[in-house]
Chain A
Amino acid sequence: MSITEVPDLAPETTLTLPESVEKTLGNGLTVIAVHRPSVPLVELRLRLPFAQADTAISSVLTQTLFAGTAGKSMVDIAAELQAVGGGLSAGGDPDRLLIAGNSLADGLPHMLRILNEVLTGAVYPANEVRTERERIADRLKVAAQQPAHVVARALNRRLYGDHPYASQTPEAEDVLAVETGVLRAMHDERLHPNGGVLVLVGDVEPHTAIAAVEEALGGWNGAGTLIELPPVAPFVTGPLTLVDRPGSVQSNIRLAMNGVSRTHADNAAQQLTNLVYGGYFSSRLVENIREDKGYTYSPRSGVEHSAAGTELSISADVATEVTAPALWETLYEMGRLATVAPGKEEVEQARRYALGTLRLGTSTQSGLAGLVSVLAGSGLRLDWLAGHATRLAETTVDDVARFAAANFAPANAVAVILGDAQVITPSLRAITAIEAA
């Protein structure tokens, strides 16, 4: 006899967070070491405040930070990291510069020594700078043909106005003008330990890890003023912005609303509301425009927390001929959630997903390292997750309904679509006013 009933869940597991030790060094660097010895590796994330950094200079800086020191070439640095199974790379966004990497656990002291050598002595060799800026300009050319990139740029311009979040990628001509001098100047001004957070997660005892950091990076110094971004202003609604992409076989629909920060009292309700709407597969948006109507492959909504504000976003890449009906269903699901309270079981399902994925996200070294680093960017620590789990458990259907009414109302959404304007404009006009980008 085969089993025909879906089995109940076994009793809930406890969310146990790994041992974590924190120390702020004399030079101002905060070090957080987390013990997760599941595999003999260590993950490293170094987050430095990077607000108001020029995007052209910072894009070249992150790609040439490891391109040479007084004593080592780019190849030397990469080879020495490889020798301990290691690798490091840097990236930037409007909030922070992030150096991320990993190595075999026994290689941590060696990886930290190389990191120190780069942080205190990167020389940005002219030859490597020339090569890298050209590579970035080439990548920008490719990105200009990628619909997801083009529509994201248009949306950021529309949402953020004068705020630095409006322009997160540089222009090629500005990148091609970057030289060694401005890179060294930005390095001296911005890459200092004060305000930085170094996270190490893995098969290294936390006190040992912190001692290794003190030994390797204790001499890293320098201080600059910490720059804070102005808070994001409420988004200005208005006509849908249509970006023309002649011949496009799909339209990229994007909607955005203001959200609340991680530390806001409504954050747990925000997470559950987003899940119910489009934040996971078993959501209204996916069940409607994918599993019922087949308009799209990967519709979704998400919550993006940045230092100066939180953005709620909805996206769907749909066949050109169903652009207007897909937008209509997307708005319909927003309106329904904003005006009719969701069902109890629907909220329960989202809650169980949110609580379960906390366990999944903290079960690997790299997952933990990313999470600890991101939380540190909001001034939070790993133990915040325990409180967050409690708040998720206590959030009511009314809380979700209230949050949805305020933040998922179609009236509060900013809309941008990238697609073949000639084909999609007439039917979109039936739904909303349109302005060309």
Chain B
Amino acid sequence: MASPEIRIPATHYPVERFTLPNGLRVVLSPDRSAPVVGVSVVYDVGIRSEPEGRTGFAHLFEHLMFQGSANLEKLAHFRYVQGSGGTFNGSTHLDYTDYYEQLPSNALERALFLEADRMRSPRITEENLQNQIAVVKEEIRVRVLNQPYGGFPWLRLPPVMFDTFPNAHDGYGSFDDLEAATVENATDFFERYYAAGNAVLSVSGDFTVEEATRLIERHFSDVPARPAPARPDFGEPDLTAERRSSYTDALAPLPAIASAWRVPDPVKDLPGYLPYVVLAEVLTDGDASRLVERLVSRDRVATSVGGYLGFMGEPFAVRDPTALVLSSHLPPGGDPDKLLTTVDEEIARLAQDGLAPGELHRVQARIATHLLRDEDSVLNRALHLATYEIQRGDASLALDLPRQLGEVTAEQVTAAAATLRPERRASVEVVPGGDQ
């Protein structure tokens, strides 16, 4: 059975953009095929922008945005969204924070009202602050402190690779810093970063552009105009010597190691960046990938291996500086040095001998499936459009990305592999401290 050379399909959906007089950028993508809408507001502030001594503050603030607003009591936001048949959430990332709802399309105006109301003025009180500090501490316990491999590698690698506070610090935050947060800190943070000019609203799904535009103007036009703050340059120089660190995880029964290499600027140099996105998949996507085949199946020096772009695994929603990350769990008594040596060997082999016939095309076909599947949800579509718009001023990248990824050449992938040298690498090793 020969593998067919399948044609990789393109995505087609309308993308409309406009800016309100107060500076709020808007992206609309109608799709009438199901009676649902996705609504998202993305603010151009994330973990990298939180002040020293206030680690975890961007995330804590995200929680506070759900605690009531100008015309809504505490709990009202949740009840209005869910009582309309919808779901909601928010999430804090290195370079942005998003708030979103997915609802039956008859609730579109209600969702716009809710977002506009908290963009105007969230209700930040001492009581709600203390409540959400407690909730966030439990979130950190569930996800990090009470779990084997908690925070590995996303919280553990950046401090090895980077030297400056914005890039290196723990985005979940220390309990001391969280407990020291004040209402005044929150008010200042809102004033500075949650400006109409620092946000993008996107709506995707079952509506007409005319109707959505009318509703958006109705609800957002009088949000006060505040300009976006100047975004600092978070750049750091590339590594010139290998960095290596380790820590003991009392709950981890087996060793693990993760490594990262800096990659080109995802926003300013997208053509230089895309080959690394393909490379990560060539190395780690599925049983036919280079590192799974070698490390897991053949040599058994790893029980699992993963590879991706960006410490939070979102290749197209992160700014410079960022990295290609390879993360492996090892069998009992596994040797992390041997694993790294084998990774180096495989990368060197790829850089020297190039890709096998058909290898690039099959990996690109699978990448296309992942992209399309993700965009099948109107909510994901809205979120992608908003992050592309806020970071690149180009929401319509969503339509062109599959083509651009499909045009990455074998030579570009091998050239990218050639840059993953040991002296540019930062690694962190988990030493098992749990029951062996």
Name A residues whose Cβ lies closer than 8 Å to a Cβ of B: 1-16, 38-41, 66, 74-87, 102-107, 110, 113-114, 117, 128, 131, 134-135, 138-139, 141-142, 144-147, 248-250, 280-282, 287, 290-298, 317-319, 348-349, 352-357, 359-360, 362-366
Contacts and interface: CB of A to CB of B under 8 A. Distances in A.
Nearest to A82: B362
Contacts of B105: 10, 13
Contacts of B138: 250, 294-297, 317-319
Contacts of B252: 142, 145
Interface string B4-25: 1111110100000000000000
A352 B84 contact: yes
Given A39-B373, A294-B132, A363-B377, A78 B11 contact: no
B21 to A, nearest CB: 15
Most buried by B among A13, A77, A287: A13
Given A3-B218, A74-B297, 13 more contacts: A5-B71, A15-B35, A75-B293, A79-B3, A85-B366, A104-B9, A107-B4, A138-B303, A138-B329, A291-B75, A352-B83, A353-B83, A360-B103
26 contacts: A3-B218, A7-B113, A13-B105, A39-B375, A40-B372, A75-B287, A82-B286, A84-B6, A84-B365, A102-B369, A102-B373, A110-B6, A131-B300, A249-B145, A250-B146, A281-B78, A297-B135, A319-B138, A319-B141, A352-B82, A352-B85, A356-B84, A356-B85, A359-B34, A359-B104, A364-B376
Nearest to B74: A291
Nearest to A128: B297
Interface of B is mostly: mixed
Interface of B: 1, 3-9, 11, 31, 33-36, 70-72, 74-75, 78-80, 82-88, 102-110, 113-114, 116, 120, 130-139, 141-142, 145-149, 206, 218-219, 222-223, 251-254, 285-288, 293, 296-297, 300, 303-304, 329, 331-332, 358-359, 361-363, 365-366, 368-369, 372-373, 375-378, 434-435
A294 B130 contact: yes
Nearest to B379: A360
Most buried by B among A38, A107, A128, A293: A38
Contacts of B293: 75
A139 B256 CA distance: 13
A136 to B, nearest CB: 9
A365 B33 CA distance: 12
B369 A131 contact: no
A155 B223 CA distance: 51
A9 B142 contact: no
Contact of A104 (B75, B109, B361, B369): B369
B6 A106 contact: yes
Contacts of A113: 1
A145 B79 CA distance: 36
Contact of A78 (B141, B286, B329): B286
Contacts of A87: 286, 366, 369
A359 B369 contact: no
Contacts of A106: 6-7, 9
A110 B253 contact: no
A192 to B, nearest CB: 23
Nearest to A79: B288
Given A6-B80, A146-B148, A139 B303 contact: yes
Most buried by B among A139, A354, A356, A364: A356
A354 B84 CA distance: 10
A100 to B, nearest CB: 12
A85 B131 CA distance: 46
Pick the 4 closest A-B CB pairs, nearest first. A356-B85, A294-B134, A13-B35, A83-B3
Most buried by B among A5, A8, A13, A363: A363
Most buried by A among B116, B132, B146, B359: B146
Contacts of A291: 74-75, 131, 135
A101 to B, nearest CB: 10
A219 to B, nearest CB: 15
Contact of B36 (A12, A75, A363): A363
Contacts of A105: 9
A9 B365 contact: no
A349 B36 CA distance: 18
Given A110-B3, A282-B78, A359-B34, A104 B365 contact: yes
A85 B85 contact: no
A82 B365 contact: yes
B85 A353 contact: yes
B104 A74 contact: no
A12 B82 CA distance: 15
Contacts of B7: 106
Contact of B251 (A81, A145, A298): A145
B434 to A, nearest CB: 5
A102 B223 CA distance: 44
A43 to B, nearest CB: 8
A333 to B, nearest CB: 15
A359 B35 contact: yes
B288 A356 contact: no
A145 B435 contact: yes
A141 B334 CA distance: 14
Contact of A83 (B223, B304, B365): B365
A110 B1 CA distance: 9
A250 B104 CA distance: 37
Contacts of B4: 83-84, 107, 110
